[in-house]
Amino acid sequence: YAKQNLRGAAVVFSQKHETELRDFGLIDQTLRSSDLEQELFILFQPQYDIVENRTISFEALARWNSPKLGLVRPDAFIKAAERSGLISQITLILLRKALAVVQDWPEHIRISFNLSTRDLRSSTAIADICEIVRDSGLDPRRIEFEITETAMLSDFDQACEALNRLKSMGCRIALDDFGSGYSSFSYIHRLPVNKIKIDRSFVVQLVKHPTAQKIIKTIIDLCKNLHLDCVIEGVETETELAKLKQVGARYIQGFLFSKPLTADGVDEYLERETGTRHSHATEA
């Protein structure tokens, strides 16, 4: 699979910047005085179905190319934007940009878009999101929103209401980073979600700690019983993949398949994917 990694792959971030930019004040101040419509952009990372051998979705991952600060990772600027309240505006800019690209993709492929806690807490934000979904003209079933457990924790009922509004439009919901926080089996069946994404922290332990594989199996089985899709995040090696196959994993996201790609990178990736499938078909 490593050979599927394509040229469009993301830019490298300097270590120096990473540390400097933990300064939320600076980030926030710069965000405010920036042309975000111009400077924010999106990379796309495939979620791959190893049973059907095809990509089912691309996750939209935000990047900020600031003339002043350089390339800023989402972990830094999303948090700053959440604190200052700029996040709602940023979400809308990113969502518009992400959905514009989906038009060109094969119809079975979805877009997965990360929402922040703040987005779920504001009914205006949800209304704006719904409007962008409608304006995009896309089949809403091709749009999936990823939310984290933390987003659910702060106000469970309010978050459920927001998610149900998105679901009633036809959009799908995925629970992101499952297992990284306060995962509670007591509420999982009450969540309006279609998919669970198992956090990379489990994958990292797969090789050294045999129990990690058992835990992943348990979550995969739970998902099967609840009729939820289950994606494993952050798969980097063939060894990890082999261990995941042993326990029935089906949907995989990680550098082993592809790094986050530019929109052009996605086109090349999809050409290669359909090309490969085609040549398999003609061989048969």
Query: From CA 211, how far away is CA 202, in angstroms rounded?
Result: 10
Which residue lies nearer to ligand C2E by CB, 176 or 273?
A: 176
- Could you say which residues in the range 6-35 bind ligand C2E, by CB under 6 A? none
Closer CB to Mg ion, residue 114 or residue 136? 114
Is residue 260 at the binding interface for ligand C2E, with CB under 6 A as the rule? yes
Give CA–CA dist 268/262, Å, rounded.
10
The alpha helices in 137-231, defined as continuous H runs, are: 149-154, 156-168, 200-205, 210-225
Q: Does residue number 114 form part of the binding site for ligand C2E (CB under 6 A)?
A: yes
Among 236, 247, 267, 268, binds ligand C2E (CB under 6 A): 236
Is 37 a binding residue for ligand C2E by CB under 6 A? The answer is: no
55 in contact with Mg ion (CB under 5 A): no
Distance CA 182, CA 180 (A): 7
The Cα-based distances of 270 to 54, 97, 110, 124, 283 in angstroms read: 9, 19, 13, 36, 20
In terms of DSSP bridges, do strands 195-198 and 229-233 run parallel, antiparallel, or are they unpaired?
parallel
- x/- binding map, residues 149-188, to Mg ion, per CB under 5 A? ---------------------------xx-----------
Angle at 48 between CA 46 and CA 53, to 5 degrees: 135
Residue 193's Cβ-side half-sphere holds a number of Cα atoms within 13 Å equal to 25
What minimum distance in Å lies between the beta carbon of 177 and ligand C2E?
Answer: 5
H and E: helices and strands count for the chain: 13, 9
74 near ligand C2E, rule: CB under 6 A: yes
Can residue 119 be called a binding residue for Mg ion (CB under 5 A)? no
Q: Among candidates 1, 10, 80, which has minimal Cα distance to 44?
A: 10
Q: Which is nearer to ligand C2E, 72 or 220 (CB)?
A: 72
Nearest approach in angstroms of CB 233 to Mg ion is: 5
Positions in 167-196 near ligand C2E (CB under 6 A): 176-177
Give the separation between CA 230 and CA 197, rounded to whole angstroms.
6
Least gap, CB of 235 to ligand C2E (angstroms): 6
Q: Interface residues with ligand C2E (CB under 6 A)? A: 45, 60-62, 73-75, 78, 94, 114-116, 146, 176-177, 200, 234-236, 253-255, 260
Interface with Mg ion by CB under 5 A: which residues? 114, 146, 176-177, 233
